[in-house]
Amino acid sequence: MFSHHTPGELSLPTRRKFLQQVGHGFGSLALASMLNEQTRAASTGSAVNPLLPRSPDFAPRAKAVIWLFMTGAPSQMDTWDYKPELQTRHGQILPGSDPKTGFFATSGKCLRSPFGWQQHGQSGTWVSDILPNLARHVDDMTFLHSCYVKGNNHAPASIELMCGTNVPGRPSAGAWITYGLGTENQNLPAFVVMHGQRPRGDDQIWSTGFLPKTYQALALDAGRREAIDNILRVKDETDDQQRAALDFLRDLNSTHAQTRPSQADLAARINSFELAYRMQAAAPEALDFERESEETRKLYGVGDKNTDPFARQCLIARRLIERGVRYIQIFAGRGASGDGSVGDVPWDGHDNIEKNHRSCAAATDQPAAALLADLKSRGLLDSTLVIWGGEFGRTSDSQGSLGRDHNPHAFTIWMAGGGTRGGGFHYGATDEFGYKAVEKKVHVNDLHATILHLMGLDHEKLTYRHNGRDFRLTDVGGHVLREILA
């Protein structure tokens, strides 16, 4: 449906003609929508507003995505991939170990998990005792135990996981989905990113790449009163004054764009000004979780020194999903430090896996579980795909005596809702030590193909022509993991 898409000429009516047609000038807040009726962005790229909802390729199983990105990379053997053999062989040589697997050198000796493990749910899924709240939801989850990437350091692996390749400058999954489907709420962005500490890789992880900037993410900080920069109107400026200024700016931009039809970003800029104006009314209400009951805020852990940063993000994510936001990426880099105070501690346990993972789990377990419970109680989980995981896994042998190094060869991602199988279904497997994926290996191209399929998009048809070739999120690979579909 989007094959051979190339930005076309930007064809906008003159100010005089537009006034004659609509009769009330540029004061209309629906300006972008009205202009869009004249031409369809999905096929030509020439409309002012290319974010109107578009028909998927087939009936979608999910309407929205919330990706809980565990920045720093949780250890699969210490969270969701129980390996008794690793426990019994602690301190012994790890068969097939390679000290260069990670970013630093490792010992080559097995390091057992320092955590207790129990089975949960009707599925009997083994879960580490650092995740007691999420453990109660295993029967809503589908586990992908055989994920792998090529990059063995945070930034390239994160870019690969989000963009399908670790080559900088490619569009992220959120940008592709926004390009393919538009948004259901014209007063809020389609693609939202939340983070406290900026993850390694920065904006490249949620980049629009070569796609028009219309599809870029809005990054916000849920911990600040003004979560979106410059969203509030300038003091003492009236609505009429601001509207008049935007009308004048739009007139200038439109005239400028008419002589530069090949510069698609001009249309994106025009649209962004209009969206920003509409967001001034819609965004503060959507982000105001104080409107939630005390019971709901407590469920997420808002106000608790350990969970508050991530709790705010998860609660706002649910509020945005209710209001039609299509894709939300939460980078969970903030955690509780060893002494219990809040600090920036990602899941990167090089020195001490027990101390690091206990603190990060304490910061994220309750809010993530609350998000699942809240979505389910409101009837939203069936149509919302929730994803949990980091950019790679950790080594089964030790770094130093208590830590684990990076491991691109094996990690676990789970999904819940959004048309996935659930029931505590386990797909793929690692070896007996959790060191490498060995059964039904899942590359990021397969993961993305499956996510797009759940959203009603054919990953081979969702393309964009750039530099003389058609690009897609899954590049030349990717297979839908049909076994995990409901």
Residue whose token pair is 């929508």? 33
Q: What CA–CA distance (Å, rounded) separates 452 from 459?
A: 6
Residue whose token pair is 């899954």? 474
Q: What CA–CA distance (Å, rounded) separates 387 from 451?
A: 10
For 41, 75, 211, 455, 475, the CA distances from 1, given in Å and listed in that order, are 12, 40, 16, 14, 17
Helix ranges, 182-263 (H): 239-258
In contact, 50 and 183? CB cutoff 8 Å: no
HEC profile of 101-123: CCCCCCCCEECCCCCCEEEECCC
pTM across the whole model = 0.83
Q: pLDDT tens per residue, the chain (486 residues)?
A: 454 444 444 444 554 444 444 344 333 333 333 333 333 333 333 345 788 899 999 999 999 999 999 999 999 999 999 999 999 999 999 999 999 899 899 999 999 999 999 999 999 999 999 999 999 999 999 999 999 999 999 999 999 999 999 988 999 999 999 999 999 888 888 999 998 777 777 788 999 999 998 999 988 876 655 555 555 555 666 666 656 655 665 666 666 666 666 565 656 555 665 555 565 656 678 888 888 999 999 999 999 999 999 999 999 999 999 999 999 999 986 544 433 334 445 899 999 999 999 999 999 999 999 999 999 999 999 999 999 999 999 999 999 999 999 999 999 999 999 999 999 999 999 999 999 999 999 999 999 999 999 999 999 999 999 999 999 999 999 999 999 999
Token digits of residue 1: 């449906």
Angle at 363 between CA 231 and CA 451, to 5 degrees: 70
Q: What CA–CA distance (Å, rounded) separates 485 from 238?
A: 51
Which has the closest alpha carbon to 177: 7, 57, 69?
57
Q: Phi/psi of residue 196, each to 5°? A: -100, -90
Q: Does domain 63-234+302-484 have CATH number 1.10.10?
A: no
Q: What CA–CA distance (Å, rounded) separates 418 from 326?
A: 12
Helix (H/G/I), strand (E/B), else coil: 484: helix
Token digits of residue 376: 């389910």
**Domain extents for the chain?**
63-234+302-484
pLDDT at 76: 98
Question: For residue 222, how many other CB atoms are within 10 A of its CB?
Answer: 21
In contact, 4 and 461? CB cutoff 8 Å: no
pLDDT at 337: 41
pLDDT at 430: 98
Say how many CA atoms lie within 13 Å of 390 toward its Cβ: 35
